[in-house]
Amino acid sequence: MRDIFREYAIREGVTLGRIKNDLLRQTYIYKSDRYTLRAYGGRTFDKKTFMIKTLDDKHDFHRLYNNGETNVKCIASRVESLVKSNPIVSAKLLGDLLLEMYNVVVDMNKLYNTKHRLISQLMSDHNSSFRYLRQYAYTLNQTNPGTVIQINIHKPLSIFHRLFLSFQAEKQGLWTFYRSR
């Protein structure tokens, strides 16, 4: 529910103040001297989902482009796919994309922290996958006798370099193909 209200605040360009924020209900107001608009959300009867029960989103004050609601977690959820597909993307480009897509200006420090968080998460995913590579090679040898598997790593830091994999059935098919010629 907090994420929904944060998304609303970013989309509308407002800053919300939390009055009540517990497991049962959440109440927010606009942070402004002239407006005391309230938004209220609470749990439904099934006690698992939240529902916005009161929200009056008619306001006439100016949009905030430098919104304090944009934190690193919020930014990361929006640019995660871009950084994972292109890890060398610049923080300035991320800021330009956020300005174009969401009309929000983000501090460069937050952009650098976001990119660092996503890159470290991506690296941890690769490291955990590398952990299972030797177990995968062992299982392949047990289930497909005659399979050739070579894992090359850079020795000083044990960084994965490449993998060679050749199944016994592929080798037999290749030999029969060349013998028939």
Per-residue pLDDT tens digits for 97-125: 888 887 888 888 888 988 888 888 887 77
Q: Does the pLDDT at position 138 exceed 80? A: yes
Dig out the tokens for 153 from the structure.
């790593």
**Residue 102's pLDDT is what?**
79
Strongest mean pLDDT among 26-30, 75-79, 116-120: 116-120
Reported confidence tier of residue 25, pLDDT bands at 50, 70, 90? confident
Higher per-residue confidence, 116 vs 16: 116
Average pLDDT, the chain: 79
What is the model's pLDDT at position 171? 83
- pLDDT band per the 50, 70, 90 thresholds, residue 62: low
